[in-house]
């Protein structure tokens, strides 16, 4: 980290944050300051409140107490400083959108004036975002005809088109093959390195992004830990969080977590690892 990075205000800041639904507290006393350009992985089992955390930062869910600040202002819906990359979902063949139309949906042009000037700036921003993800070759194809990986690259472009200071990613690698997982995560990594965009990356599987992760926020049943992967992804810390014996094994640069009761165990211990598997909690589609 350069000194100039630490001098700047955090890209995302949660202070004493609590989120509860009725009696049920998802998390409380959460303090987290994400630096510009920092890559934070948000991990935890189903229902821990990972997606809800992103919703708070997107201004779609209010905190029960505490504050959430994004790019220096309270989290609010429609912020042009925030880009959002959702899960990969296959778009129907019949969807009458071209790649560049999908990217254009990410434009929030109120900053760009009106009339001709608006359209010129908009077009340039869409082109730049398409170039950032290397999608020029299929930007004019109907999105329904594109592969899952190509669609997901366009969704990253859609998230980048507004030149965000913060990128919120909700399992963006889900159902992508290994090559596309690598491609999409490299795009996100390059964005934060080139533009100092902070990244919050919700995932059930840390291995595909492990080399990129600066810090981990691990949420389990109201408890959480924040630290580097080496600090958090240990048998001791995860056993404390899950309140049961959990073992973290390192195998050829990948982490395997055994004992959480999640499907992670089946993947980690039954029959050995296949490529692309590792720390992998059970996942249901939303």
Ligand X SMILES: Nc1ncnc2c1ncn2[C@@H]1O[C@H](COP(=O)(O)OP(=O)(O)OP(=O)(O)O)[C@@H](O)[C@H]1O
In the complex, minimum distance from the CB of residue 26 to ligand X, in angstroms, rounded to a whole number? 6
Residue 21 vs 119, nearer CB to ligand X: 21
Considering only CA atoms, give the Rg of the chain.
19
Kindly state whether residue 65 participates in binding ligand X, applying the rule CB under 6 A.
no
**Contacting ligand X (CB under 6 A), which of 37, 49, 149, 172?**
49
Identify residues 14-43 at the interface with ligand X (CB under 6 A): 21, 26
Residue 25 vs 141, nearer CB to ligand X: 25
In the complex, minimum distance from the CB of residue 25 to ligand X, in angstroms, rounded to a whole number? 10
The SS3 call for residue 122 is helix
**Contacting ligand X (CB under 6 A), which of 47, 72, 113, 211?**
47
Torsion of CA 118, 121, 127, 133, to 10 degrees: -110
Does residue 100 contact residue 82 with C-beta atoms inside 8 Å? no
Kindly state whether residue 63 participates in binding ligand X, applying the rule CB under 6 A.
no
Distance of CA 233 to the CA centre of its chain: 18
Residue 49 vs 106, nearer CB to ligand X: 49
Does residue 283 contact residue 46 with C-beta atoms inside 8 Å? yes
How many residues sit close enough to ligand X to count as binding (CB under 6 A)? Answer: 10
Distance CA 281, CA 263 (A): 5
Residue 36 vs 268, nearer CB to ligand X: 268
In the complex, minimum distance from the CB of residue 261 to ligand X, in angstroms, rounded to a whole number? 14
Distance CA 200, CA 214 (A): 11
**Contacting ligand X (CB under 6 A), which of 50, 100, 191, 225?**
50
**Contacting ligand X (CB under 6 A), which of 18, 52, 101, 273?**
52
Q: For the chain, what is the total number of helices (H) and then of strands (E)?
A: 9, 12
The SS3 call for residue 43 is strand
| Six-digit token string for 115 | 């009339």
Distance CA 202, CA 206 (A): 9
Identify residues 67-86 at the interface with ligand X (CB under 6 A): none
**Contacting ligand X (CB under 6 A), which of 20, 33, 51, 144?**
51
> Interface with ligand X by CB under 6 A: which residues?
21, 26, 44, 46-52
């Amino acid at each position: 980290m350069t000194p100039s990075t630490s001098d700047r205000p955090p890209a995302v800041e949660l202070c004493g944050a609590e989120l509860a639904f009725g009696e049920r507290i998802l998390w409380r006393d959460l303090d987290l300051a994400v630096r510009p350009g920092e890559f934070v992985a948000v991990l935890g089992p189903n229902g821990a409140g990972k997606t809800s955390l992103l919703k708070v930062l997107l201004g779609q869910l209010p905190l029960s107490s505490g504050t959430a600040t994004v790019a220096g202002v309270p989290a609010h819906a429609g912020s042009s400083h925030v880009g959002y990359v959702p899960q990969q979902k296959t778009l129907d063949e019949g969807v009458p959108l071209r790649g560049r139309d999908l990217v254009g949906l990410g434009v929030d042009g109120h900053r760009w004036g009106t009339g001709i000037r608006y359209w010129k700036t908009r077009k340039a921003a869409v082109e730049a975002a398409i170039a950032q993800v290397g999608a020029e070759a299929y930007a004019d194809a109907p999105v329904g005809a594109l592969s899952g990986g190509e669609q997901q690259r366009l969704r990253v472009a859609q998230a980048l088109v507004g030149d965000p200071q913060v990128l919120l990613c909700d399992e963006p690698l889900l159902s992508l093959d290994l090559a596309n997982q690598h491609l999409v995560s490299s795009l996100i990594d390059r964005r934060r390195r080139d533009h100092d965009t902070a990244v919050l990356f919700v995932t059930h599987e840390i291995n595909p992004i492990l080399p990129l992760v600066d810090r981990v926020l691990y949420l389990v049943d109201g408890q959480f830990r924040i630290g580097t992967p080496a600090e958090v992804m240990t048998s001791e810390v995860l056993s404390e969080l899950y309140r049961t014996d959990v073992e973290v094994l390192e195998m050829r640069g990948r982490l395997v977590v055994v004992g959480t009761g999640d499907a992670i165990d089946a993947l980690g211990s039954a029959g050995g690892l296949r490529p692309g598997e590792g720390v992998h909690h059970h996942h249901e589609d939303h």
